[in-house]
Structure 1
Amino acid sequence: MPDERGSRQNVTFPSGGRTAHGYLARPPQGVGPGLVVVQEWWGLTSHVADMADRFAAEGFTVLAPDLFGGATTHDRAEAARLKRELPVEQAVQDLSGAVDHLLSLDGVVGDAVGTVGFCMGGGFALLLATRCGDEVAAAVSFYGLPPDPEFDYRGLTAHVLGHFGELDGSIPMAAVDEAAIRIGEATDVRPEFHFYPAGHAFMNDENTLGTYDPLQARIAWRRTVTFLHGHLG
């Protein structure tokens, strides 16, 4: 079931010789660190745009790439199909293009950006930070890990923050612990992972899965904003 509101696009940027689309939100003061926000498997929905706006209100220049080329949905089977059919390399290319675009914008301070991803996007946030090296200084994953449990994190230099639900059946706590070990073994990074008494997607106030938890979402939000400002300015 497609989302009748459609994808929230308002900007284009170059990506590997083609044109990518996304949602750009600027801070009220017009100047601040760059931040790439990575969508869930529902697409570039109003919720993702709202998250981008919230980060912009905290002082960041935010770009959320549209990895599904305009498609959005609130149907789980359709979302699973969109995720399954998304070429990983194309997604990472578009995310890398978003990093380059942010760093080219007037008003983006510093020579590195941050990235925050949710669910599917949480895994891509870690992939992006690994691929872009020093161009990504801080990476935040909300209940998401790279799909390959043996993913090679060599190249990752960003500070890493993660938020995971203790009741999340899709990402066992043992998998999160294993990811922390693999990051520590492959890099000098010591990830900061937090567990919450909540299920998957506890940050999504559209409550698509019925697991939104306002209290845990507020705690994770404040930790994230503090973390990003601490490492990006």
Structure 2
Amino acid sequence: MPDQRGSRQNTTFPSAGRTAHGYLARPPQGVGPGLVVVQEWWGLTSHIATMADRFAAEGFTVLAPDLFGGETTHDRAEAARLKRDLPVERAAEDLSGAVDHLLSLDGVVGDAVGVVGFCMGGGLALLLAARAGDRVAAVVPFYGLPPDPDFDYRGLTAHVLGHFGELDGSIPETAVDEAAIRIGEATDVRPEFHFYPAGHAFMNDEDLLGTHDPLQARTAWRRTLSFLWGHLG
């Protein structure tokens, strides 16, 4: 079913000759590192906007691109369709445009940003980091990997922190281990991957899958903030 509240858009930015939309959240002090937050397959929902607000409250200028062009859903079949219909190249363009836009904003410090992605967005976060090179200094995928197990990580220079659920049937530990090996073989990066006694989407407090785990979410949150500040601060 469509999300009647709709997409949480509040800003626009240029993307490959088009106008892309997203959600922008600024830190209270008005100055801080840039951070791209990449949505789940549900769209740019209130959960993603809330995550952007939380990161902003911690001192980051956050942009969450709307990769589905305004569509959101709470229905798994519809979410799968939206993900399937999303051209990867268009998503990559919008994410790259989000990086450029953040780096152009007054108050964004540094010449590189961080990227955090959830589920589908976790894989896209790694894709963005591999394509953006030194424009991305830190990337944090939550329970997400590129769909192609042979994904080419050679452009990746960012530090990598990943969070995965031991009970997540969609991303087995063997797939995470293989991704870590591929990253290590293709780059000088040694990813830091953590496994939690939780299922998929354990950070999502809207709990659409019934797998939200507040305790594991708090642990992953603390690790993420420490990691981002360590490489962007």
Residue 5 of structure 2 aligns to a residue in which SS? coil
Distance 1:207 1:45 in 2: 13
Tell me the CA shift for residue 102 of structure 1: 0.1
In structure 1, what residue type is equivalent to 2:114?
A: G
Residue 184 of structure 1 aligns to a residue in which SS? helix
Q: Which residue of structure 2 lines up, in the alignment, with residue 70 of structure 1?
A: 70
The gaps in structure 1 that reach 5 residues or longer are none
Q: Which residue of structure 1 lines up, in the alignment, with residue 227 of structure 2?
A: 227
Distance 1:17 1:132 in 2: 18
The gaps in structure 2 that reach 5 residues or longer are none
- Cα distance per residue 1:103-154 (max 9 Å; x no partner): 0000000000000000000000000000000000000000000010000100
Across the two proteins, how many residue pairs are aligned to each other?
A: 233
Tell me the CA shift for residue 211 of structure 1: 0.2
- Cα distance per residue 1:23-66 (max 9 Å; x no partner): 00000000000000000000000000000000000000000000
Residues 1:90 and 2:90 aligned together: yes
Distance 2:32 2:17 in 1: 28
Tell me the CA shift for residue 73 of structure 1: 0.2
Paired residues for 1:197-208 under 5 Å: 197-208=197-208
Paired residues for 1:128-207 under 5 Å: 128-207=128-207
Tell me the CA shift for residue 192 of structure 1: 0.2
Residue 33 of structure 1 aligns to a residue in which SS? strand
Tell me the CA shift for residue 173 of structure 1: 0.1
Considering only aligned residues, what root-mean-square deviation do their CA atoms show, in Å?
Answer: 0.2
Distance 2:122 2:92 in 1: 12
Tell me the CA shift for residue 197 of structure 1: 0.2
Tell me the CA shift for residue 94 of structure 1: 0.1
Residues 1:20 and 2:20 aligned together: yes
Q: Which residue of structure 2 lines up, in the alignment, with residue 29 of structure 1?
A: 29
Query: Which 4+ stretches in 1 moved above 6 angstroms?
Result: none
Distance 1:155 1:68 in 2: 26
In structure 2, what residue type is equivalent to 1:178?
A: E
Structure 1 length-normalised TM: 1.00
Residue 169 of structure 2 aligns to a residue in which SS? coil
Paired residues for 1:97-108 under 5 Å: 97-108=97-108
Tell me the CA shift for residue 159 of structure 1: 0.1
Structure 2 length-normalised TM: 1.00
Distance 2:19 2:156 in 1: 27
Residue 62 of structure 1 aligns to a residue in which SS? strand
